Structure 1
Amino acid sequence: MTDVNNRSQRLGILVGGGPAPGINSVISAITIEARNSNLEVIGIYDGFARLIEGDTTAVSQLTIPDVSNVHFQGGSILRTSRANPTRNKEDLQRVVQGLKELGISYLVTIGGDDTAFSASEVSQASDGSIRVVHVPKTIDNDLPLPANMPTFGYETARHVGTGLVLNLMEDSRTTNRWYFVVAMGRSAGHLALGMGKAAGATLTIVPEEFLADRITIGQVCDVLECAILKRRVMGRERGLAIIAEGIAEKLDPEELAGLPGVEVNYDQHGHIRLEEIPLEKVLKREIQHRFQQRGEAIGIVDRTIGYELRSASPTPFDVDYTRTLGHGAVRGLLSVTEANRRTDGGLVCLENGQTKIVPFEELRDPVTQRTKVRRVDIDSEGYQVARDYMIRLEKEDLANPEMKLQLATAANMTPDEFVARFAHVVELAGTID
């Protein structure tokens, strides 16, 4: 590590949460603007993990030559971690003390909703001695940015993910079978819907279309089964369904834990470790079981898309976007005088072509006191267009006697049995009227 004992006014940078395309571009932009503003820049490795342990040695001075050619690279030159400094007061105080020992008076955190919350808590715990700005990063696109701006990394992830989905769709056509693809996204279905809409997937299922706090595996499988049956009526025995990973967060943990091969664990922020839930296999197994009960076999290939996207090289959009955010983060930090220094810091974002700092308190949910989550708006035109192009059971299918008979025949049921069994599917919040 570089010697950081010679001190002047210092700005620290750390990365929390999972990787996202564009992290290095943010680090580069922050470093260049800070150095040009006569600040020393200290890169902190592994997020909050080392600081929580009281270790201030995992740091390095960053100069312009260090970062001048990293903006188009994926991953993070400072690495990242999900370590949570807010689990207890002792951890939080060690982080604040470590930052003070490093002589850091300005801190830029790069991360998602959990890191944003941690940044806010660090700023408050420092009593104004450390000014904090957070740069919103997540391929989930679930931070509440103004003017519906995406979080950085999302557009690259959608671009790369769409290419993978298109390849799988071609394989589906070639082999005449179904694909169940689970797309990363802890709470919101933006990435799944974005890939599905762009690729023209048969259907995409997002958690927002289920209004209840808890749903069952059977409810999700009913949507899938009806889509498969409708495709059969249309003369096709193949298709590709994208299921948002966040569906698993709505499932009853006890139901999940009771399934073979499923173990429910939680991360440091109290979230179910969704990457350890084989949702695609659970859904595949249930659908195949349903068809086997009718004496049929159905070919389904299950895949998960997520890790392939997180450290991809950013697209020009995300490079452009992140350079603006990084520059804006430094300008936002330096524009605050001692007289009006906020003790809670804020999040840098882009609105109407200009960067602005949104105070952390405006991002907090008044009930949970956690960072608000931006979910898919199922009443938006964007979602309705996506739904229009999906193959799913709709109300008009059940209102059409001929279609209802064909669907029932495909399911080896009478029309009345089919309606009784699947009518609830068309009552989902996202169903087109």
Structure 2
Amino acid sequence: MAFENLSPVSDSVIAHAALLNEQSLASVIKVHSRQGGLPEMENLNITIIGVRESRGAVDSIESTLDFTAIRKALYALFPGNWHTKIGDLGDLEPGESSLDTFYALKEIITQLVKNNIIPLILGGSQDLTYALYRAFDGLDQMVNLVNVDGHFDLGNSSLPITNKSYVGRIIVDQPYNLFNYSNIGYQTYYNSQEEIDLMEKLYFDSFRLGSLTSELSAVEPVMRDADIVSLDLSSIQSEVLGYMHPHNVNGFNGREICAIARYAGLSDRVSVFGIFEYNLQKYNDTGASLIAQLLWYFIEGVNFRINERLQDRDVNFLHYSVPVDDELLSFYKSTVSERWWIEIPFMKGVNNKLKRNTLLPCTEDDYINACNQEIPERWYKAKRKNEV
């Protein structure tokens, strides 16, 4: 049974929840308690799971993780006009080795995704993302991974997996399910030139912190194409998190990171969302409050999903053909959401990763730039990956 390794939410959290306003999330979330056991899965759309594993951290995180402060802060918030059913399944305890934890987490995520339940993972070291990715092995699909992080985390894939090398392991380990990796908010001085060159060579997407803070809406189409979103808390300014990661003087501020979490929730495709590198500090209510709000904004986004049927392109979509050099680019605009997509053509006779013409999320600016004879960079990279 995939969920047998989950321990219930602590009695102190449940006692705290009983004292909260009856309209708060405490009265909405179905909680895995010692007395009541696990909630009924078929009644849930979103589940929260803590993973008390941090052995993959290069810069050591406290070995014992406790998500009590986050839960107390989250339960005290008020829901919006939401229709989703939320469950808190408690915590996954560390296995005998980190690989044992990976396996248990993989089994849980696979089960939830198969049942169209979105897991929200709270974790220690970010190498747990590897387990989220491996959960898709049996789901017969290519995977797009988005990492909100100042680092690319490519590392040395020939060494044991860590929170600085898990992306490299995702790239080289079989089975090869990764179609695209996107980094949101990288900071150049945290990444070697070798890693930067490798990102370009593999046609992966990367967005510098400085460019996004002036145009945060560029995150939306990237999230719209993601299956897994992994958020490293060290991508946030240290003062905003109550100096949980004191050396990260630059990063996203509180409003920006909450907007990014909401973009992830709004994506019709995102099926796993993880928040990692939680470093327990005794009196860090600031960090716990911000993480609770990240969860809130993701759930808010899920409640406003449109679930547009891209297969029915003749309905509720406008089609624009734009000749650029030797290419004829096809853009589609939804008349419902006013979001844009660009078509990546399927190339017959090429052993590619796409089985049909695929729509890649884009922005209206991409369309305007194409009209000015500029090919969108993300379209070019996706097309090149398709040809490999």
Larger Rg: 1
Larger relative contact order (CA 8 Å, sep ≥ 6): 1
Same fold per TM (> 0.5)? no
TM-score, normalised to structure 1, is 0.27
